């Protein structure tokens, strides 16, 4: 069993949904990312998702776009992100996912990228701008390295295509909660709950279902887990804390840990 699926199963066995915590690697600088990871893991996240900064993050809203700019300005490179992942994984038994756009993967080369990812103890990869129709070589290279390929489903995805994406995915299926880009939302829309219920028959018994985009408050988490999802993905809520206290002082780290804890408690089934 792979580490990501195992993390979801462990959470379920404890009567919880899984909490995936996302931060941009290198924001505000590469040296601080492991400390941020320590705080989130200490707060109870089950899986850590590290964003690889990119100059044209088309799926991301202003919060994560700004984090990407800060990380790039601080000199964060794809190789540095993999070094950070390795450092964190050596300290914590928590699966790590890299979220990257396809261009950095293409420039490194598929075989080299996944070989380096494996050496860095990366457990899964998300590439939001890579459709499954063009992901054959990507999937084969990932499988060869034993790394999960996590694909994204949008509200507009047809049932026929949804079934195909489920078959191509491993680790978990990433369900986008609403149209648009990433960012915090004031409330979870009824359409999100209905979307979860529409997707569940396709994932049940096959792969865990995690919901992201706009999930930022404990009440959001509770609503989504109660609708039947296996986990939630939270990013902008953490990045907002990092942005407001750019030196990432002990105060910021404490706030990150407390936020993660509150969100994790809300996953109680």
Catalytic amino acids? 49, 60
Strand order in the sheet with 209-212: 148-150, 124-126, 96-99, 47-51, 18-24, 231-234, 209-212, 173-176, 152-153
Alpha-carbon dihedral sign for residues 84, 90, 150, 135: positive
180 Cβ neighbours under 8 A, 6+ residues apart: 61, 213
Q: Where are the alpha helices (DSSP H) in 95-158?
A: 102-108, 110-119, 136-145
DSSP string, 188-245: --HHHHHHHHHHHHHHTTTS-EEEESS--SHHHHHHHHHTT-SEEEE-HHHHHHHHHS
Distance of alpha carbon 117 from alpha carbon 100, whole angstroms:
12
Q: 10 Å Cβ neighbour count for 210?
A: 27
């Amino acid at each position: 069993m792979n580490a990501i699926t195992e993390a979801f199963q462990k959470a379920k066995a404890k009567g919880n949904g899984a909490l995936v915590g996302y931060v941009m690697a290198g924001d505000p600088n590469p040296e601080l990312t492991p400390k941020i990871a320590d705080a989130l893991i200490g707060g109870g996240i089950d899986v850590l998702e590290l964003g690889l900064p990119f100059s044209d993050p088309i799926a991301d809203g202003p919060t994560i776009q700004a984090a990407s700019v800060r990380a790039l300005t601080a000199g964060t490179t794809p190789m540095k992100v993999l070094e950070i992942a390795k450092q964190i994984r050596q300290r914590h038994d928590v699966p790590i996912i890299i979220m990257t756009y396809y261009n950095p993967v293409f420039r490194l080369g598929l075989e080299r990228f996944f070989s380096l990812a494996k050496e860095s103890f990366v457990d899964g990869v998300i590439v939001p701008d890579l459709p499954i129709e063009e992901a054959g070589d990507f999937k084969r290279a990932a499988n060869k390295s034993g790394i999960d390929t996590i694909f994204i489903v949008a509200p507009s995805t047809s049932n026929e295509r949804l079934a195909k994406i489920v078959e191509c995915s491993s680790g978990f299926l990433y369900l986008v909660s609403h149209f648009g880009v990433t960012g915090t939302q004031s409330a979870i829309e009824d359409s999100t709950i209905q979307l979860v219920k529409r997707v569940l028959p396709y994932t049940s018994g096959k792969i865990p279902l995690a919901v992201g985009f706009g999930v930022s408050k404990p009440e959001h988490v509770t609503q989504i887990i109660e609708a039947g999802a296996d986990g939630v993905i939270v990013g902008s809520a953490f990045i907002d804390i990092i942005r407001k206290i750019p030196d990432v002082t002990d105060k910021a780290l404490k706030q990150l840990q407390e936020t993660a804890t509150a969100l994790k408690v809300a996953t109680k089934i």
